[in-house]
A and B are shown apart, each in its own frame.
Chain A
Amino acid sequence: MAQSYTISGYVTETGSGERLVQANVFEKGSLKGTTTNAFGYYSFRLPAGYYNLSYSYVGYNSLLLPVSLKSDTVINIELSGIQELDEIRITATDPEAERYRLLISQLNVPVEKIKALPAFLGEADVYKTLKLLPGVQSGNEGQSGLYIRGGGPDQNLILLDGIPVYNAEHLFGIFSVFNPDMIKNIELYKGGFPARYGGRLSSVVDITSKDGNLHEWKGSYTVGMIASKINLEGPVVKGKTSVNFSARRSYIDLFSKPVAKKLFDENNFAQYYFYDVNLKVSHIFSDRSRLFFSSYYGYDDVSTSIYDSYLQSSNRWRERNVFGLEWDNLVTSLRWNYVISQRLFANFTLFSTSYNFAANHRYTKESDEAGYYDDFEIFYGSRIADKGFRFDLEHFILPGYTMRYGYHFTDQGFYYAFSDQKQTYNRANLRSFVGGHFDMGKPWLHEFYTEGDLKLADRLHINAGLHASFYMTDEKNFSSLQPRTSVIYQISDRISVNGAYTKMTQYINLLSSSTFSMPSDLWLPSTAKIPPPQSNQFSLGGRIDLGKGISMNVDAFRKDMKGLIEYKEGVSFFENKKDWEDKVETGLGYSEGFEWLIRKDKGKTTGWIGYTLSWTRRKFDNLNNGRYFYAKYDRRHDISVTLTHQLKPNIDAGLVWVYGSGSAATLPTQQIRLEGLPPGIGQTHVLGYYSERNNYRLPNYHRLDVGINFNKEREKSTRIWRVGFINAYNQHNPFYLYVGWEVNRPVIKQVSIFPVLPSVSYTVNF
């Protein structure tokens, strides 16, 4: 028996030195091989002999390398990106490589392709493109968060370079916090979660940022309708140290403020703006040792002031209403990769991540002549802050057999502040204050995992593991063992089937209104009264390679959840959250459905069509009389069509069409007259009545976005004009509904916020 040797190394991009994540590396004949890890490293073993090694990555030219294997070998490979001006854009990898990937409810989102899609108000958004994939919903217009396979926005683990981000969207969901210029790779898991991930029930969005160009300085700037951004990357020390910096700022406030002043008066204004900054510094000590520092900070600010002065009963009255909202994310990490041996890759991470939110409202009314003064101010603030460290080890044991182990520790902090001040000089001098700063918990989370990735025969591929977690709070400790299993079986060269089972536990909840989803939603820890939510998910699916770069994926899933929370009936979203445990109900839910995706990755026209059919229900003992009801984001049908077409070598066009069945809302559709009531509110009283929670369906949502990109190559730069229309046929999609009056009768009124919008941006890459 021939002796086996290890082949290992890094796969990087030609020119920049950027490491490529999930690049395929395999031996062409036997298909033995692996994919690069999150740091671009690969390792596998083959018996001594002659081989043709294939290296490939989406959007890059594949490389076939003949190798004579006689000893442990380090092969670092550079792959060159496909030129955008090529007549035929090959965006798929070698079909043999493609089916090698374990595609259990896992999707890779090609970042470069996303930039070709119509940009919203000039901003290409890779995170928002996730919402075009089957199984992923975006909620209603103006609503932030991802809703994946029936899970709420708090059930998604969104990682930036391995560190959780708590609020991933600016401007109520219109833009994500992820600057596309900084993103190298996005992996989305909707099921079949590998054991190395934990802490959320419904999905993992694993985003890797670019390290920065190791060999030359490059950059870009973009001027768009809502925001502008700049990106610079380059070597601090050539071949050793790189830096990648990007910044973005909106300028809605620059025109909203003068517009408000013009419409009202000098003392009135309304403004919104956001900015974000990314910085990443990478240093290569040696082939075995690399250090990365990355940091992200993003900030949003909304504020309005409405002032009125009027005469009443010969007295001058003045009223002012000032309202402010602000929130920010700060994510920082320091990571060290170390190749312990050719088959043992280690990563150490120190990190901190925080999300802060504050809302303030002040109302004053006064009249010197009337001797009246009324002033109240309410403040609400919340903060979640994590810090900790992670240790991850990859052991490349045999070709097709990799083990992963890890330990993660997180020190969490939850804080809440509230104050309600009132002062009045009308008739009597009364002053009241209620409030305080509350520590909502400082739990510790310990996580351990072991994960095996095994290819048993040429056709059977298994990923199995165990994720164990221990959550320690002041009141109670929780523990959870979460088995994970995914299996893929290659029936033939073109057809594969897969199945997966995962158990997930999450130790935090997002307390949000059933009617709104806002950045003021409060992150809270599991407690003795509110145990951690858990889910069990089964999925079955298949993949068919139809040839000519066309493939089809089908998936069916069933997810059962328990420990879900909802506000109790009648509770106000703006109430004091100090005693939040007494204001929520716990219950269970399930989601089941079917997903279908057909995609074309080769040729002048590429894209995909996705369809989801699903049901999502909840059950709480003290809500809806203990009966099952549809969740507010239950959407029966969800369709997305995404197409890009190369019109000319320097012109490409994109089209996105989305359709979703109306989501659910609670609307009293009947009135009842109650008689014989005791004194208090009137002995006969008319009230609204609905037989079921979330009984009403909002109108169906659909929208067409079209765009065209003009590329112009100059000597030292590339200029791109992106022009398009968002909501091209001016569909009025619902933002919210309310019952109003029209010609003396009540009617349902719908408010929409986005009519047809032109979208223009200008980008220079240099």
Chain B
Amino acid sequence: MTQPLLQITDLQVAFRAGKQDIPAVRGAGLTVYPGQTVAIVGESGSGKSTTAHAIIDLLPGTGHVTGGSIVFDGRDITHLKRREREAIRGSQIGLVPQDPMSNLNPLVRVGKQIKESLEANGVARGKAADKRVVELLEEAGLPDAASRARQFPHEYSGGMRQRALIAMGLAARPKLLIADEPTSALDVTVQKQILDHLETLTTDLGVAVLLITHDLGLAAERADHLVVMYKGQVVESGPALQILKNPQHPYSQRLISSAPSLASQRLTSQLRAEVRESSVKTAGEIAAEIVAEGELGGEVTDAVVEAKNLTKVFKLPGGAPGRSIDFTAVDDVSFRLRRGTTTAIVGESGSGKSTVARMVLDLLEPTSGSVEFDGIDITTLRDKKQQLAFRRRVQPVFQNPYASLDPMYSIYRSIEEPLRTHKIGSDKEREAKIRDLLDKVSLPSAVMRRFPSELSGGQRQRVAIARALALDPEVVILDEAVSALDVLVQAQILTLLNDLQAELGLSYLFITHDLAVVRQIADDVLVMQNGKVVEQATVTEVFDRPREEYTRKLLDAIPGGSIELAS
């Protein structure tokens, strides 16, 4: 019988605020055996990272262990002296931190930083350490490691930095590696490469991994044993596949049903078809009405927005002083957004998808090509009245729920602003409208007097949606609108968006890097890479019969996408 490598029993962690202890972890327990991969899954604030940091005694700020035990390799390490704990950290337990951008010292060469960790743990010194650094970087999958070691962090891409951090975490050959959301800041395809590499590496070295993640799909795919945390407590633990297929605790059930990558294909496409049917019908009626009023001119066409050969060239300073280099962010992109449907634009960071969104919103002028709205080129709308009329019909919802609302404005003022700008209604009518909008996005009207800082991310995103709907638009541009949210909240917002679409006949342009959510909301998909459209098809075609290599790569990279669920 093997002995457990790490055994946490009844762990209590609290943060001190003034004279009070605020508990963050309440009686958590888990066991890791040598060579095993165990994943802790939970939403933000569930205490998963706090638990991990308690193990290596790196609790932030006022955090401290108030009870329970952490037995590592047969020794209770919660009561060790500082010096003894420091000896364990690094040499026995390694850490791969979350954010590769802020976890390397920008002033020190990467090689030197890894060398430091080798010397601090007494693994090697001087020339021998230099040699070891190159070996470690090679092992972490960095090509041309010898010259890379002499570079500074800013010369590395996000994925390369994460590889360097993995090399650092494994430098002293620890028995346990704690990986705290190691890839959540990276693009999906890079994420897959890094995780694949980490997996082979730790298997070869026999290192146990404690993986902290919010992504259930990812956890299930990579771990043997799963620990689900909620509000500082372990609510369910057991073999990964077993929990996935047959979750017992209501929270795990909720998590699994919300995970976009795990959702049943048949069910989502059926729901989507129902939404589309109702939405297309409503949208057609609305469009006919508007044309009858003759506000903007134009005619009811099948496509509400049509982008023709959109190209955007940015001039970047470079070369000689005063000269600039042309950077083509968007290269000849054409698509049609059919009335009452959703077109998703999918791509990794730097693919130009958000630039397309900004051009459709008329926030950015295309270098060439045009955006037609109901058959009218929006760049020709230069008279103020027409422009305002256009603004009314196309509204955005942005990614970052913390930056998309003015922090000085109450929720009421935020939602009122579009109505005020367009001089719609009296004060009384506006208030009624705002109440109605809040009701539509399922927020209580008591929220009106609150400020954005008092709401959670999901609630702010609801407010942002309510605000976008204030002018009764026909098209809503959702620029990564659900990317920053926890899975549960994300699922709620997606449901809300679907409901609103069915009810109001909205057309969505849905910009995302996450192919997994696309199936739940989109009808057509545009896959972009380096500013170009590489594949353009319906959702079913993209998921079932991807034609392009790149699309296939993106699909493969969806964590947990390959896991078959019974339901």
- Asked if A pairs with B, the answer is no
B residues apposed to A, CB below 8 Å: none
A residues apposed to B, CB below 8 Å: none
